Amino acid sequence: MRPSFFHHLHPPTIPARQARLRYTLAAGGLAIFLSLILLVTGLLEMFYYIPTPEKASASIQTLTFLVPYGGLVRNLHYWSAQFLVIVTLVHLLRVILTGAYAPPRRLNYLLGMGLLVLAILLDFTGYVLRWDEGIRWALVTGTNLVKSIPLIGNAFYRLLVGGAQPGPATFIRFYGWHIFGLTLAAGILVAWHIFRVRRDGGIAVPPPPLREDQRRITRFELVRREVLAMLLSATALLLLSSFVPAPLAAPITASATASQAARAPWFFLWIQQMLKLGNPFFWGVVVPLAVLVLLSLIPYIFPKPAKPELGRWFPKSNRLAQVVALLILLSMLALTLLALRTTS
Ligand code: HEM
């Protein structure tokens, strides 16, 4: 039989362990599903969204309140984007806490880190496209952080914002990045990432002679589980999007200047909280970049997880990586909660 494209994605049988929900948490698959929902709902939103600073916010109101099912489409887009960031973080944590980044999966780990950064940038640029009072922190404080970088800060700021301060040029740049640049890059990286999962031998489990559990499941069983997971998550997402609307504030009226009440989007609240400690370059640029670099280097600088320990949670052989990752994520969570308390 000539192998089809589907055959490449799903071989006739796979080790049962590779498809165990309590091992993978289905987080990678869910991230793909959410990305597809984002693509479809984003394309639908483009029929009504008017990409100019004067009309953007009003066009979102039209879409939400006047277009049949427009509000639902917008809410689905919004909630899928938030969950994509959460699910990607959960997936990252499961990869670290199971030691699944060990060779030959180091390259795929880096591709995954690229995807995490893209998911956050897509969420950030999409949030700015609301162009309402709620986005002031992102527009003013967020972009100003770039200026604090020594030597190249001002040039980089002009490149990002399109002028000496945020305005129509900023808007069109963020729009271009959101609907084209970042989306295209994410599409390419997702395809590469999935290709690498197959190339690296599927989900990490011990090699056959070291495997305690020799059971295998068929591709039909795998597809059945995937469809079930998609139906359940689609139902949850539809329910949430039907009852909890995406945020929308009044259109930006005065020129965009910093405001006391401005709050960062939730995934940058930990940075907003750190900025209270002083030097914006150190706390707003150096520390977040150091966190990103440290997480990316985990497969390269920490002891390699042992092969017989693959396919299970908390292997003894990679304890150090587990502790470092948990400390980083717990600190980010604590800073986020602190920021929520002080800015609410
Ligand atoms: C939009 C973001 C992402 C998507 C769509 C995605 C998708 C997937 C899928 C479908 C799998 C196979 C199933 C599974 O393990 O759950 C997978 C595995 C993997 N992913 Fe991701 N991923 C993303 C982000 C990340 C991140 C942030 C990392 C870590 C830096 C990462 C590293 C890996 C690794 C190393 C594997 C192989 C795991 C193993 O063999 O056990 N991915 N990814």
- For the cut 70, the answer to whether the pLDDT of residue 261 exceeds it is no
Judged against a pLDDT cut of 70, whether residue 264 lies above it is answered with yes
Nearest-atom number in ligand 1 for the CA of 27 is 16
Mean pLDDT, rounded, for 102-121: 97
The torsion defined by the Cα of 150, 154, 156 and 160, in degrees rounded to 10, comes to 140
Please tell me the predicted confidence (pLDDT) of residue 137. 85
Is the model's pLDDT at 211 over the cut of 90?
Answer: no
What are the tokens at 94?
């499961």
* pLDDT value of residue 8: 73
Range of weakest confidence among 119-123, 199-203, 289-293: 199-203
Nearest CA to ligand 1 atom 17: 28
Cα 115 to ligand 1 centroid, rounded to whole Å: 9
Does the structure show a pLDDT above 60 at 279? yes
Number of domains in the chain: 1
List of residues 6+ apart from 15 with CB closer than 8 A: 202, 205, 211, 213, 214, 215, 216
What is the CB neighbour count within 10 angstroms for residue 304? 15
Instruction: For residue 271, give the CATH number of its domain.
Output: 1.20.810.10
76 lines ligand 1 (CB under 6 A): no
Residues 6+ apart with CB under 8 A from 203: 17, 18, 19, 23, 24, 100, 197, 311
Q: Whose CA is nearest to atom 12 of ligand 1?
A: 28
Domain region containing 134: 5-343
Alpha-carbon distances of 95 from 88, 99, 302, 325, rounded to whole Å: 10, 6, 14, 11
Q: Does the CB atom of residue 92 touch ligand 1 within 6 A?
A: yes
Kindly tell me if the per-residue pLDDT of 259 is higher than 60.
no
Which residue's CA is minimally distant from atom 22 of ligand 1? 28
List pLDDT tens digits, range 131-184. 988 888 888 888 999 999 999 999 999 999 999 888 899 999 999 999 999 999
